[in-house]
Amino acid sequence: MKRALSTLILALLTTLPAHAASCSWSAKTEEDEGGSVMTASVCGGPKGDAHLMLTCFEKPMLSYDLGDAGGQLEPGISGSFTFKAGDKSLTEKLELEAMYNYFTTELSGPTDPLLALLRGKGDVTVSADKYGQASFPLKGSGAAIGKVLAECGKSSGGEAD
């Protein structure tokens, strides 16, 4: 029994890094209500089902999808979320985007302190008392965020023809 348990633990430990490695930053064009938009995103959290996403029309917009941990949230809510990477930490108020069931915040621009934190090294942990926490890798974030910021202001954000 002891040997079976240690084999199971070893098997779980060897599969976790492979799952974590699949969560890396990417930047690609995705369809949105207003047409195509460049989106940088990364998955994370204990099950890899939480997501951070960055888009930009006139200003950068950060979205946080809690994944399965969020469940179906009530429209009109907001929450204070703390983003911590290394020795830096920022707390932002995010509003629920009810249509997509994730939290969003508009950032001030390319030099926003939260974008600087997300371009760092290591991992970023996003936490809120009511919603728990999730960690996301930052490897590749600088290039992905740079691609999105290069598109800021280029899209009308209006109806597609």
Which residues, including other chains, have CB under 8 Å from residue 134's CB and lie 6 or more apart? 44, 45, 46, 50, 66, 67, 69, 125, 126, 127
Q: Is the pLDDT of residue 13 over 50?
A: no
Write out pLDDT tens, residues 78-128. 999 999 999 999 999 999 998 889 999 999 999 999 999 999 999 999 999
The chain-wide mean pLDDT, for the chain, equals 82
Residue 70 · residue 45 · CB < 8 Å = no
- Per CATH, which fold does 24-150 belong to? Immunoglobulin-like (2.60.40)
Whole-prediction pTM value? 0.80
> What number is the average pLDDT over the span 21-27?
84
**Chain center to CA of 109:** 17
> Which pLDDT score is estimated for 5?
28
